[in-house]
Each structure stands twice: as structure tokens, then as C-alpha cells.
A and B are shown apart, each in its own frame.
Chain A
Amino acid sequence: MILGRVIGEIHSTINHPFYDARKLLVVERTDAAGTPAGGYVIAVDVVDAGVGERVLVLDEGNGARQVFGSADAPVRSVVVGIVDQVFLAP
């Protein structure tokens, strides 16, 4: 999984049926300290995260399909957690 920060939302009406009524977030990748690490990912939100929040993104297809209980959903990236804090060993 990767750490990121939600920087935006995407709205669409013409999409694959799997994405009907799904909330899509633009998540900027960050390092453990929360600073942007370059790159981003568009992920489906299942934890009701909002813009500005630090999140945990699952970026693997089989795990993502398991989240939605589907064997053939075209999904790989899912926001699966909202991060309060990250503690790093000194």
C-alpha cells in the first residue's frame, strides 16, 4: 500500500459501469513524513476520505477486487484507510 494525500475529486457521468456512483479521489503520493514524493494515483474511495486528508491507498488489482467482492471489476487503486499519524523508528 502507499501513503498519500487527497488533493482532489473527479466527477464523471460517462464511465465503465463499475464506476457508476463511485467516488474517485486524486491522491498525491507522499513519503512517510507527508511531503510529496512525486506522482499521483486516481483511486476509488471506500472510507469517505476528503480533500486534504492523509490516506492509505491499496494499489493492487486482486486486493482491490476483493474489496468490492467482484472477480472482474476493472479496478486497481482503492483508498482503504485514513491516516492519523505515522510513527517512524528513530
Chain B
Amino acid sequence: MLLGRVIGVVVPCVVAEGLAGTPMLCLQPLDQEGRPSGRAIVAADATRMAGPGELVYYEGGREAALALDPWFVPVDHTIVGIVDGLHLDRGGAA
């Protein structure tokens, strides 16, 4: 899983079978310091509670689909949790 920041909401009008009602959010992937990393993606939201501005973690690939119900659906990234606290301590390892 990786960290991401929700930057928007996508409202599709026609979706593949099984995806009706699944929230779709614009997500900016972040690096381990919380800085934007790479291009924004669209992710399904398995928590159904994430919104713009929130820090989340998301899964990609087959596991992205497994987080949804029904699970056999065509998605490649899914938000699986909203971050309450992120405690980084590099402890001189860098």
C-alpha cells in the first residue's frame, strides 16, 4: 500500500457492472515524506467515507478489487483506509 491525498471527486455516468455506487476519487500519490509523487490517479473508495483533503492509504492491482463488494470488478486502485495519525521517525537511519 502507499499513501495518497484525495484531491477530488469523480462522478461517472456509466460504469461497468458491479461498480455502480462505488465512490471514485482523484488521488495524488505521496512519497514517504508526504510529498506529491508522480501523476494523480482515480481510485475507488472502499471506506466510502474519504473526501477531498484527506490523507489515505490505497492498494493497487488485484488486491484493489478484493477490497470492494462485489469484489470481481474492474478497478486498479482502491482506498482501503483513512489515516488518523502518521508517525514518522527516521532515527538517523537516513
Q: B-contacting residues of A (Cβ < 8 Å)?
A: 5, 7-16, 18-19, 24, 26, 28, 36, 40-43, 51-52, 61, 72-77
The answer to whether A26 touches B32, judged by C-beta atoms less than 8 angstroms apart, is yes
B93 partner, pick from A5, A16, A41, A42, beta carbons under 8 A: A5
| Contact (A16, B67) CB under 8 Å given A10-B57, A74-B46 | yes
Q: Residues of B contacting A75 with CB < 8 Å?
A: 59, 63
Contact with B63, one of A5, A28, A74 (Cβ below 8 angstroms)? A74
Q: Report the contact-size class of chain B (Cβ under 8 Å from the partner).
A: 20 to 34
CB distance from B22 to the nearest CB of A (A): 13
Docked-complex contact A51 and B63, CB < 8 angstroms = no
- Give the chain A neighbours of B86 by CB distance below 8 A: 8-11, 26
Beta-carbon nearest neighbor of B94 in chain A: A36
Q: How many angstroms from the CA of A67 to the CA of B80 in the assembled complex?
A: 19
Q: Which residue of A lies closest to B54 (CB)?
A: A14
| B87:A9 contact, CB within 8 angstroms | yes
Does B83 contact A61, Cβ atoms closer than 8 Å? no
* Chain A residues near B31 (CB-CB < 8 A): 40
Report whether A7 and B89 are in contact in the complex, using a CB–CB cutoff of 8 Å: yes
Chain A CB within 8 A of B14 CB: no
